Amino acid sequence: MPDPMSVASGVCAAGALLSSWQLRRRAVRAEAEIEHLQAELAAERHAASHDPLTGLPNRRAFYRLAAALLTNADGQPLIAIVLDLDDFKQINDRYGHAAGDQVLISVAERLAGFAGDNLVARLGGDEFAGLLASPTVDRRWIEHATRRLSETVAAPIRLTGCSVRVTASVGLAPVTGPAQLTDALSRADAAMYQAKSLSGPRAPRQLVDSALSGQNT
């Protein structure tokens, strides 16, 4: 006949093992729930600061990140850029909004590729912005860089069954500190709209901010 003490001891040991196993399961579930909540929070934060179509930072994030970059620029020249696609509405009207979305995604990818590690963002609609580190604010260098950006955007974009070309009007202005960001973007925006008024068959449109016009070429 089994020893009652041995039976009781075995039952206690089994109960302890079961309790330990249940605790481990609860701990694993709790860890999984925490990871899930953290992932959801990260996704919500990303969605709040990024454009859902292109994946670029949105307008609010651009201003926040640009201010931080300007604060830590250590005197390095930075150029504010505003880019707006020309006659973008015609893409939507002729090819549909899905094609228009693809054009915006392609332009965003090209802008990000052009900017490298620099900050670029979609401000809304077909308007993009950037804050680019520059070795100089020399007019010639800036015009060359702006022309390259315009030509990059103007390369053919493949859509379903066809390809399209879009041109961009570009405005830019040097910015020297966080307090100057809004003013620099306003000047770049004004230069961009002035560039949009220029005409020229298939010519990429760009205009250097008027603040640079007095510098040597």
Q: State the DSSP code for 203.
A: P
- What order of strands is seen across the sheet that includes strand 205-208? 119-124, 127-133, 78-85, 168-175, 205-208
Q: Which of 74, 86, 101, 126 is catalytic?
A: 126
**Pairing state of beta strands 78-85 and 168-175?**
antiparallel
Q: Which residues pair with 78 in a beta bridge?
A: 133, 175
- Confirm if 172 and 146 have CB atoms less than 8 A apart: yes
**Pairing state of beta strands 127-133 and 162-164?**
unpaired
138 is a catalytic site residue? no
128: CB partners within 8 A, 6+ apart: 56, 82, 83, 84, 107, 108, 111, 120, 121, 122
3-state secondary structure of 207: strand
Q: Give me the active site residues, please.
A: 126
